[in-house]
Structure 1
Amino acid sequence: MLFVRFLFSCLLISFHCQCAITTFVNITVDDQFGDPSTHSQISYMPPDAWSIAPNCSHCPDNLSLFPAKAYNRTWHDGAVRPGTVRSASLQFYGKLHVFDVILHSHPHFRKCSMIFFIDGVRMGSYSSELNSAQDQWMYDVVVFQNTSLAMTKHQLLIQSGQENGPDTIILLDYIMYS
Structure 2
Amino acid sequence: VNITVDDTFGDPTTGVIPQYLPNDPPGVWHAGNATETDHWRTSHWTAGVLDVFEIRNQTWHDSTPANGPAQVVFSFTGTAVYIYNVVPNMVFETVTTSNMTFAIDDSVVGSFVHTPDQSGVTLYNQLVYSNTTLELTPHTIVISADGDNHSNILFDYLIYT
- TM value normalised by structure 1: 0.78
List, as ranges, runs of 4+ consecutive aligned residues in structure 1 with deviation greater than 3 Å. 55-58
Contact 1:111-1:129 within 8 A present in 2 as well = yes
Could you say which residue in structure 1 is the equivalent of 2:75? 91
Unaligned runs of 5+ residues in structure 2 are none
Contact 2:88-2:96 within 8 A present in 1 as well = no
1:34 pairs, out of 1, 5, 10, with 10
2-structure distance, mates of 1:71, 1:145? 18
Structure that is richer in helix per residue: 1
Could you say which residue in structure 2 is the equivalent of 1:167? 150
Give the alignment's Cα RMSD to 1 decimal. Answer: 1.8
Alignment coverage as a number of residue pairs? 149
Deviations 1:61-98 (A, max 9, x none): 8x7101111011111011122x3211110011220000
Could you say which residue in structure 2 is the equivalent of 1:130? 116
1:140 pairs, out of 103, 125, 130, with 125
Contact 1:28-1:177 within 8 A present in 2 as well = yes
Unaligned runs of 5+ residues in structure 1 are 1-24
1:102 pairs, out of 87, 101, 105, with 87
1-structure distance, mates of 2:128, 2:118? 20
2-structure distance, mates of 1:98, 1:68? 19
Deviations 1:140-166 (A, max 9, x none): 00000000101111000011114xx32
1-structure distance, mates of 2:119, 2:74? 34
2-structure distance, mates of 1:175, 1:86? 17
Kindly name which structure, 1 or 2, has the bigger radius of gyration based on alpha carbons: 1
Deviations 1:31-63 (A, max 9, x none): 0000000111101111231100135743288x7
2:43 pairs, out of 58, 68, 71, with 58
2-structure distance, mates of 1:86, 1:131? 23
Q: SS at the partner of 1:68? A: helix
Quote how far apart the aligned CAs of 1:134 are. 5.0
- TM value normalised by structure 2: 0.85
